[in-house]
Structure 1
């Protein structure tokens, strides 16, 4: 028997008499009948999906929030639904009250709802980037996220870390609901589910298809063939599965006849494409004070092509990690073209000597190294200089004596200077706009920078959001963005193309396979 579609069900219900509709309501609400069942179609597919981590939605009106509440009501023992802000939980409270017909068992002070069948549902919020700590160590068998693109990647990954139960018959699952991101901070979602959402992904996945992933030695996602244990370094890992199941207002029985689709059709672009069709490729609206337009970065990445002949290296930007979840990032600039960025966990560059050993094999043609000289960067700078390499210290808080290309505004400090110079190089109207490698993290880093115009002396100056503020917005450090931006600092002692020094490897007579691998990286 074929499951009827939402349109077919709507037709049958609309054809019923008033008496028949009343009888149906009575039967549905009588005795022990379930208060909630998944609608046929995508919602039902998401409800029954075997994936460890499900992303359901895309377009608006597909019954996303209802799916989360339905799971808490019917399959899970101890669930928690997260929204980014506590005020956003009001809609969930009201919808659950409507489903149950009462508010019995709900404690509005703690956000805990005692549901029928000895089930428990918590409502949680993580407004500030570090608010995930409030839920550290608290076990739930279902972590449910409403509007996943509002959360930072760090919040999401840490909150799902305590998914567990002591009852083996209770399934553990993570379900995310949401629309395409409307700000650059939510771009990580497209990277996390890239196999379904990125049109350029080399191995696209079908809606509902399961893919398996582990975390590699660098702390990054690595797709593996299936659910079997995988040896990563010296550790055996159990892969976790993911999937994405799209839905729209056309799949929602309860909204199909309310005119909500017409409301979505009247939205301005790109919001219309995002909410009506769930188009993850539609451009998000940039905030008014975003320093680098998102479309400029995407255009630079679209211009990029891999090169066999890269030409002389112009400058290498180095942003050393400072421990924790930060990564050391290297940007290798060849005039207007950037090579693929290289990132390593902070443990690889834990001090000056290890950072110098990591960086030196990446330098070509005697190119100068622009290095963040604060903290561990100062130690790295000393050791890199000890290798006889050309180093330029970048201190973002230092005063800048330069002006923008138009000659109308100064820069509040060196950090504002290097990012504004990068902005000018990304301008599509520039004589030779730069090409950046496709990298979702880099896109997020560069589009998270905000600026304002302040008074400095007798004139105006550009001031940008500092690194700690960007870290809060992204949930991680903007290491890749900083490494690229540092290559645009004024004063870097660029060498003439015809007067390039030989590399440190050539001067020492070293020609190793490792060096060749680094060049190809």
Structure 2
């Protein structure tokens, strides 16, 4: 592995071997991958999204020690099939380990290096498999796709993480998100509880834990933990998030891979493209695709509102995923029998990313196309700046029915009436190209990355059923 100064001892107290040409070629990509390989924690977990270079990073981790003839380590997948899959760990190791003189023993999935150091690949197909390692000692333990392993397997194998080779024992793992896994709880401190995404400011920050009375107790340092629990033997852990944007080599070699991730169903896209640890299939409970019948035409009559959710951020680079300015135009057609209730039709939906001026132009141009018969609902931020912005829109939209409303309550509560109408089969979509994107966002709510169309639809339904609770006309 390439080192900044070959005269320095490495992070685990072992003097590095003299650099070679092969060493110089085995170099992590800058950013999360390099951070993961340089972290000093007892346990480090890497990833959180697909395409972040997880397998390479895990395979490279133990290479700093292969000049030590007493060093040994194991990298686990849940099943042997996963290890041997085409493009899996064994295949990838064949590209990497021979550069340092490694010799493979394919029948036992083991590598031997000139010093005598060894690295094995193995499985833990069920909880009882860990008993095969009673009495074993391994300086390095690697887990590929940690959420595939049970909590019992992980903690038992941690007890086998010991060494007399002079290398401080350590554990490294890679993972994709799983909101319902024990791993999500283990790294919860590093995850934003609202968005489900990794907190950038906490990436790679090391924390300390000990098991006290059957539960994990955490502190910001070993000394702090010992002060609280003098008998504790603290261990350190960190999480280094990464996603496809951090893997320039893959993006260059396979430019279509991002498109493949973007084509996934909404929940899986949130997990694998964005690294969302909170999104789960259960999020579909508020809106389900099958609740929205498609129609080719809309009956006339009724009241129509164009509802907007505002943002003013341009997309600046690949991987940048700002909020959208989004709108829906919804018509409520009263029931012919009593003139009440009725059916809601989403006639059109659109969204854009742009500067404040571009957003303003879009609103004014859309209003001109809709005509004065379509009411306009806009969200108004609290405070003087929000009032001034809303007043500007009302003045520029003179001749239109405009309602600027300060949102009240949380997003899920505001979406409740729309969800109830959808579940009852009272919201229909005009068949159009935007249908799938709108439904994808609705299904992923409230754990999805974006809720711009959700907010716009919720406000439209509330406007058509409850009216505006707060408008500029009342100021």
When normalised by structure 2's length, the TM-score is 0.49
Report the structure number with the largest CA radius of gyration: 2
